[in-house]
Chains A and B, each alone.
Chain A
């Protein structure tokens, strides 16, 4: 039942422009407070991968991605809708999402335990090194300026330092404000940056018009099934393996799946004009990624995206600590969640194929009604966390901050990830230095942490080279 409710809410969140899965999951955390931990996590996970599909609907119908990972779907999905083929676009996205999600869930069952056993060999230096890799990946792959992305990462780390010192327990940077003793809550920050910030940016734009297309025909033509099947297969593999890497985010798998599809196609010039594989592959990769990204979250305690960082926060709120010990101490939670992923994939398919018409109707709600509704839920979500108006004011403040960063085109994802991972990073760094008596060499004396730190350096150097002006101009010419 929780999976069903979560899938419905998640799809709704993904459909609504102005809210992404991160903000949507954050907003809906309060409704799980009175549920048992397993039920709560199942519902929130269902919201997460439901939102992945929901974003497709707006991408196809109005060329506005409901969430960041659905950007690629706009390229061909919207073109298909303009040709009156919104039905096949949404239909193949639903089918591809089901296949990708189911495969990833099965593979999750297979790799989780071996990965959890391996993860038990991780001490504080390895945890710190892994977190550095995670933040490097997100930083290096975000935006057009590596420096801006790095600044956003460190901005998130600065925010994470407000509140109680994670090692000594002393208040820090609270300036006598009692509400800051618990730190800057990530739920108000996420809702502000993503929810309120997005609405403020949208207020500058003209009103969008919805294309009312015929949705009665949901399936592709006969000849498109073969092309779509191969695209779905490739998207599944790409999404799954990239989902295992913490910090990569959902945009990279979808983008890569699209690029690969274009490269293997006999007619690459048709991409962008409304080809079905241009929708099938990235949408499959999206859901395959969404399920596979649970692996580093559950086994290593590393969230792979802002939404998973929010989900991790929900775990902690319900008294659960993601990581290798979760398998040992609460196997009921882990396997209950994995079982719900199977069920959730089926529910999503059953929900979304017949309900595509209904979801599309939601988009016909004018923004003058829609945005006040979204803001209502942001206010409610922020307040419900600690029954504190202070959290609502934080949400508004970060809404302004999010608006400014969006205008600057500085990426928000690194800041959110750093905010969540900051305390863990500080704790592992300081504990490592306590172990070594202050010697930084400990990170390079242990093989796993040494390899991970070298990997992080390679990622950052590669990103720096990629974003150097000379190379950027060459790439744009290509």
Chain B
């Protein structure tokens, strides 16, 4: 886990630096007391210091005597994760234009299919129940507004 921890702590160092620089855009102090820039300044400074400390600690630490566990998933696992993220991204992009029902119908149809389901009765039932059924329950019964797309569905 050495390299991932080093990389993560470096990312936090840069994030802290970014916040620190931006904190100068806000006033540190005004006539009433500490301004909007006060808290970001100190929090980013402390975060940067902690991240640097972790980077140094990880770099100087002796390698652990344990089985080498890869940070990255294997090929199959990686594909599953990538597909789930792509599906979620699809929902984000098409939720407003296509509406809740159609976006989630597509999502709930293809995701189980990709994950290995071959039950051609269960998949459409799940997809319809999860999209149209859930829409009906939340939109009409619980009065929660959900997006209706360009097709009026």
Does A371 lie at the interface of the complex (its beta carbon under 8 Å from any beta carbon of B)? yes
Interface contact A376-B57, CB-CB below 8 Å:
no
Does A165 lie at the interface of the complex (its beta carbon under 8 Å from any beta carbon of B)? yes
Interface residues of A (CB under 8 A from B): 30-31, 33-34, 145, 147-148, 150-151, 154-155, 157-158, 161, 165, 167-168, 170, 172-173, 196, 199-200, 203-205, 366-369, 371-373, 375-376, 379-380, 383-384, 387, 389, 392-393, 396, 399-400, 403-404, 407-410, 426, 429-431, 433-434, 438, 469
Interface contact A367-B115, CB-CB below 8 Å:
yes
Contacts of B50 in A (CB 8 A): 147, 150-151, 154
Interface contact A151-B47, CB-CB below 8 Å:
yes
Query: 14 other contacts beyond A154-B47, A161-B39, with CB at 8 A cut-off?
Result: A34-B144, A147-B57, A167-B36, A172-B36, A173-B40, A199-B84, A203-B81, A204-B77, A369-B117, A372-B112, A376-B104, A383-B95, A396-B88, A403-B81
Contacts of A30 in B (CB 8 A): 138, 142, 144
Interface contact A161-B40, CB-CB below 8 Å:
yes
Q: Report how far A154 CA is from B45 CA in the complex, Å.
A: 10
Among B16, B22, B89, B91, which residue has the most Cβ atoms of chain A within 10 A?
Answer: B91
Interface contact A368-B117, CB-CB below 8 Å:
yes
A155: which of B47, B54, B115, B144 is its contact (CB, 8 Å)?
B47
Interface contact A368-B95, CB-CB below 8 Å:
no
Q: Report how far A168 CA is from B126 CA in the complex, Å.
A: 49
Instruction: Please report which residues of chain B, range 78-132, place their CB below 8 angstroms from some CB of chain A when the two chains form the complex.
Output: 80-81, 84-85, 87-89, 91-92, 95-96, 100, 104, 107-108, 111-112, 115-117, 122, 126, 130
Interface contact B47-A158, CB-CB below 8 Å:
yes
Residue of A nearest to B47 (CB): A154
Q: Report how far A199 CA is from B84 CA in the complex, Å.
A: 9
Interface contact A379-B91, CB-CB below 8 Å:
yes
Shortest Cβ distance from residue B36 to the other chain A in the assembled complex, whole angstroms: 4
Interface contact A147-B53, CB-CB below 8 Å:
yes
Q: Report how far A204 CA is from B80 CA in the complex, Å.
A: 8
B8: which of A371, A408, A429 is its contact (CB, 8 Å)?
A408
Contacts of B116 in A (CB 8 A): 368
A204: which of B22, B39, B81 is its contact (CB, 8 Å)?
B81
Contacts of B46 in A (CB 8 A): 154
Contacts of B111 in A (CB 8 A): 371-372, 375
Does B68 lie at the interface of the complex (its beta carbon under 8 Å from any beta carbon of A)? no
Among A203, A380, A431, which residue has the most Cβ atoms of chain B within 10 A?
Answer: A203
Instruction: Please report which residues of chain B, range 43-88, place their CB below 8 angstroms from some CB of chain A when the two chains form the complex.
Output: 43-44, 46-47, 50-51, 53-54, 57, 61, 71, 73-74, 77, 80-81, 84-85, 87-88
Q: Report how far A148 CA is from B142 CA in the complex, Å.
A: 42
Interface contact A368-B22, CB-CB below 8 Å:
no
Shortest Cβ distance from residue B42 to the other chain A in the assembled complex, whole angstroms: 9
Interface contact B91-A392, CB-CB below 8 Å:
yes
Interface contact A433-B144, CB-CB below 8 Å:
no
Interface contact A372-B34, CB-CB below 8 Å:
no
Interface contact A438-B33, CB-CB below 8 Å:
yes
Residue of A nearest to B45 (CB): A154
Shortest Cβ distance from residue A332 to the other chain B in the assembled complex, whole angstroms: 24
Q: Report how far A285 CA is from B115 CA in the complex, Å.
A: 38
B54: which of A33, A151, A200 is its contact (CB, 8 Å)?
A151
Interface contact A384-B47, CB-CB below 8 Å:
no
Q: Report how far A389 CA is from B34 CA in the complex, Å.
A: 35
B112: which of A369, A389, A399 is its contact (CB, 8 Å)?
A369
Contacts of A34 in B (CB 8 A): 142-144
A369: which of B32, B36, B122, B144 is its contact (CB, 8 Å)?
B122
Shortest Cβ distance from residue A145 to the other chain B in the assembled complex, whole angstroms: 7
Shortest Cβ distance from residue A51 to the other chain B in the assembled complex, whole angstroms: 21
Interface digits, B1-23 against A, CB 8 Å rule (1 contact, 0 not)?
10011001100100110010010
Given A33-B144, A172-B36: A396 and B12 within 8 A (CB)?
no
Given A150-B50, A151-B50, A389-B95: A408 and B5 within 8 A (CB)?
yes
